[in-house]
Amino acid sequence: MIIIALSAPAAAQQQSVGIYGLWGAYSNSGRCWAVAEPRREPRAGEARAFAAVSTRPGGRPQPYFRLSRAKREGSAVLLKIDGETFQLRGGGAHAWPMDPSADAAVVAAMRRGIEMNVETRAASGALVRDTYALRGAATAVDAAAIACARRRG
């Protein structure tokens, strides 16, 4: 099951673009996005995590990660895609690549990757690891971008 975590007004206007493997593509009047949930269901005390790549009309793809648990203050958040590792920034249960060039590198790795893990430490010290299959990610990102390009034109 694919979830979308948006504010109520945005969620009310969202439209499904399509489901591609384990990823979905959606749009609303101001942006488009590809999204997937981790492979496992949340445990007690965990939020519903997701990975998303959003695009605005005329904009570049921007990855975002909603962690299943808020990270411990000062803990790094690492994104591992097959053999590549990226450090993310953020706080609480939210994480993003460091800058626009890192956005592009993460999206490129997602396109060619098989599996993706987002890892950090929770306030309790426990390891937080959200694992995603990347089957369908490239197609969902492209479908979202095309949906936004149509809105622009």
Residue 91 lies in a domain: yes
pLDDT in tens, 36-82: 999 887 677 678 899 999 998 778 899 999 999 999 999 999 999 99
Residue 3 lies in a domain: no
**SS3 annotation, 79-123:** EEECCEEEEEEEECCEEEECCHHHHHHHHHHHHHCCEEEEEEEEC
Q: Which amino acid is at 97?
A: P
Residue 121 lies in a domain: yes
Residue 1 lies in a domain: no
Burial class, 152, CB count within 10 angstroms (exposed 0-12 / middle 13-18 / buried 19+):
exposed
pTM, entire model:
0.87
- Strands lying side by side in the sheet with 62-66: 15-20, 23-27, 32-36, 50-55, 62-66, 94-97, 84-91, 77-81, 115-121, 127-133
Residue 33 lies in a domain: yes
Residue 129 lies in a domain: yes
Domain boundaries, position 105: 8-152
Residue 24 lies in a domain: yes
Residue 117 has pLDDT above 60, yes or no: yes
Bridge partners for 71 per DSSP: 122
Residue 90 lies in a domain: yes
What CATH number should be reported for the domain holding residue 21?
2.60.40.1880
Number of domains in the chain: 1
Structure-model confidence comparison of residues 13 and 116, the more confident one:
116
